[in-house]
Chain A
Amino acid sequence: MFKIARKLSAKGIIGMNQRNIGYIGKYNSRKLYPLVDDKLKTKIIAEDAGITVPKLLGTIVYQFQNNEKYLKKIIADLNGFVIKPSKGSGGKGILVITRREGDIFFRPSGQPASMQDVIRHISNTLSGLYSLGGKPDVAMVEALVEFDPVFDRYSFEGVPDIRMIVFRGFPVMGMLRCSTRASDGKANLHQGAVGVGLDIGTGTALNAVQFDQPIESHPDTKYNFKELAVPHWDKLLPLSASCYDITNLGYLGVDIVLDKKIGPMILELNARPGLAIQIANNCGLLPRLKKIEALSDHKLSVEQRIEYSTREFSAD
């Protein structure tokens, strides 16, 4: 047991306790949490700073607004949209509608949802079912991201997204999360999504895991991950790095999606990013974090930081 612990420690794997005390507790000031825990606030500060985010169609704040008429006004004649709790956690309470036939909506899986279902979902959101601590919440209606088909071969039914760990403004590690049949179209690794570790320098795949076990190819589409490379990587790095400047959160998880037309956009920010990214990259976070901690109080620009990250954290 201690042998395993020593080996992990030698590889620089960080555990929950160390993440909580050494990084989240130390670099993420509590008063900044609301900025990322409330997605509505994140969206506003991101838009102000010129950071690309999915378009906000409208918000539902009160139960009395939660009716067919008001909802229809927001979604207008759009075919697809996303309803999110503003203070949701862990991807809870996100309703994605990709297709619509009149008042019948369809989830990405093809499962239909009636207007009643959608309104009930919003009602649950407002009463705080999906929010941290069960507090009353606001439902956001966002435009559906038109996903770049580049990942279609590596995703089953779902939303592939890129998770970047940004430490004190430096992108330190990244992964692509691909949904599978097992994960029910969700990009959560513990539910069975595939995590693909990405080279910080180029955005090419390094390693892939499902259920914490290394795999070669996508379990449903059977495509080999070796050929995978994330496009727009040169835009994606500054986008994620600049999230530090708008939030001041030292240890930040940035979730990015690729839109067909617009390119990379920030989906959400996370002040408590998970540790599975280490397994996906087959690499511990600690050595990289230590390097940046050694820079002490840096005043580097986004470009300088990316230059540093690319130089230090690239695979070769």
Chain B
Amino acid sequence: MSSKLQIGIFVVILVAIGLGLTVYKAAYLGFPLTPGEKQKIWSVEATMDFVADGDQPVKVSLALPDIQDNYAMIEESSASPDYGASQAIIDNTRWVVWAKRKASGSQKLYYKLKFYYDSKIKSDYNIHEKPDREIEPYNFTGSSKLAAESLLTLVKDRSADNISFTSGLITLFNSDEPFQNVKMLLGDKPSEKAKLLLTTRMLSIEKIPFQVIRGLYLEDGKRKQNLTSLLEVYDGEKWVLFDVKTGRIDMPDNFVIWQRGGDYLFEVRGGHDSKIKFSVIENYVPAKQIAVLDQDATLLNFSLYILPSSEQNAFKSLLLIPIGALVVVFMRILVGLKTSGTFMPILIAIAFTQTKLLTGLIMFIVVVAIGLVIRSYLSRLNLLLVARISAVIIVVIGIMSTITILSYKLGLYNVLSITFFPMIILSWTIERMSILWEEEGAKEVLLQGGGSLIVAVLAYLAMTNTLIQHITFNFPELYFVVLALIIALGKYTGYRLLELRRFKSFAEED
């Protein structure tokens, strides 16, 4: 009883650990439960061009985006040839600084970053934060001064607070038939940049706190774009967002903020004619890749992903063996199939994964059949066991090479994978089957051989299932569950499926 209880507790703990870790990885780290799941990812590239002055060191700074709502940032890279790159935080803004002792002619610098949507991510930006700097009123000169003043009076009369004032200004600047004064200040067909500049100047005269937000719409195929500027105005309690084209807006869904406030986006020392362009490319990557790239998950620092990819691949097949073992345990304890050798079917199944099922099955049967014929001759020679097994091994290698050469000549290239069969296992299988044949007859050989093949095929099907492959590799903690299952099956005292048939006569009476 106590051993039963112990096993019960053990199994519950194992299942809890396994499922707990799996749920944690799936729900919090974003590991996909199915192999097909893909996630959209936006690659943003900033390209900065400038001409180096040539006579002094070059130092280029570029403001970088901070953590923001709903978007995760990964794979940041600021590598540019010949430039030393470093990051610094100045005035709460992240900057990348490129520097070079000597440069001449036109220069190109790159900064790359990837975004993906993740609703769990929140920035630490406080929308209620009070503006902390004094606003310098802009001084219009000459005729502009009169025009600006009359516009200010007009908008001020029609507004109640900072927000309605800003809205009034934007409406005025975007009117289809603008006032004469607006035309004078902005000219015909004004650019958005000009409208933004004028709005901020007007706001500064009224001492209304504002800041410019520079950001990017994540849309595929945007190439050589400038950042989009939005305006934020403080209403005495919180910051309110405006678009100088349309007025008051909510934060657009696909907008990522590159820089909030700040007087300039980048600075070039020791160069001139500088300009910066942004490109956005949208693509889909397996969701797992993103989860792995997530730097924060400490669990991942001790996972298989830290291994080089060749070792990862080795583990991929290694981690399938417990699945094969589970199939064997299941078939033997619950179904009651006889197999020749307990775990021989797993090894055959592993060979099948290399050779593909049909080729593997045919080759297995051919090799074992030829082996049995040759073994029956060896048995007449009256050899000692070890010598006989060794002879069978050599014969098996001979059969395998002959089959390979013949099929190569015949153009059956997939037969070449025959070398993946474990020779020692094949030899022992031949030996065991041959003894079985002598002692119990051909029927028992077919029974046990067939049983082994059925289990091997089932194990193969389980091991090659893409979902199972995906889960075993990405959620290795589920092995606790497999282990628990195998331990629990080890205490199963019920009937085996085939026993129901064996003892059928008892159930048929009365």
Contact = CB atoms under 8 A, between A and B. Distances in A.
Interface of A: 1, 3-5, 7-9, 11, 13, 15-18, 21-22, 63, 92, 116, 119-120, 123-124, 127-129, 134, 184, 191, 209, 212-214, 278-279, 282, 284
Interface of B: 333, 336, 382, 384-386, 435, 439-441, 491-497, 499-500, 502-507
Contact of A120 (B382, B440, B502): B382
Nearest to A278: B503
A15 to B, nearest CB: 4
B34 to A, nearest CB: 32
Residue from B382, B435, B500, B503 having most chain A Cβ neighbours under 10 A: B503
B384 A127 contact: yes
A21 B493 contact: yes
B333 A17 contact: yes
Nearest to A124: B385
A284 B506 CA distance: 9
27 contacts: A1-B497, A7-B506, A8-B495, A8-B503, A8-B506, A8-B507, A11-B506, A13-B495, A13-B503, A15-B496, A15-B499, A16-B499, A17-B496, A119-B382, A123-B384, A129-B385, A134-B385, A184-B441, A209-B505, A212-B503, A212-B504, A213-B505, A214-B505, A279-B502, A279-B503, A282-B505, A282-B506
Closest 10 CB pairs of A and B: A127-B385, A18-B493, A7-B507, A15-B495, A120-B382, A4-B507, A4-B500, A15-B499, A127-B384, A17-B493
A4 B503 CA distance: 9
A21 B384 CA distance: 37
Contacts, number: 77
A209 B504 CA distance: 13
B500 A8 contact: yes
B494 A18 contact: yes
Nearest to B500: A4
Contacts of B439: 92
B304 to A, nearest CB: 35
Contacts of A1: 497, 500
Nearest to A91: B439
B380 to A, nearest CB: 9
A191 B447 CA distance: 13
A55 B507 CA distance: 44
B317 to A, nearest CB: 29
A13 B384 contact: no
Contacts of B493: 15, 17-18, 21-22
Contacts of A209: 505
Contacts of B440: 191
B500 A5 contact: yes
A186 to B, nearest CB: 9
A184 B442 CA distance: 13
A212 B505 CA distance: 8
B432 to A, nearest CB: 10
B453 to A, nearest CB: 21
B494 A17 contact: yes
A17 B495 CA distance: 7
B382 A116 contact: yes
A198 B494 CA distance: 27
Given A18-B493, A279-B506, 19 more contacts: A1-B500, A4-B504, A4-B507, A8-B495, A8-B507, A11-B506, A13-B495, A13-B506, A15-B496, A15-B499, A17-B492, A17-B493, A22-B493, A124-B385, A127-B386, A191-B440, A212-B502, A212-B503, A278-B506
Contacts of A63: 384
Nearest to A127: B385
B491 A21 contact: yes
Contacts of A284: 506
A127 B379 CA distance: 13
A133 to B, nearest CB: 12
Contacts of A92: 439
Contacts of A22: 493
Nearest to A21: B493
A17 B333 CA distance: 7
B494 A15 contact: yes
Contacts of A7: 506-507
Contacts of B386: 127
A306 B111 CA distance: 92
A47 B439 CA distance: 30
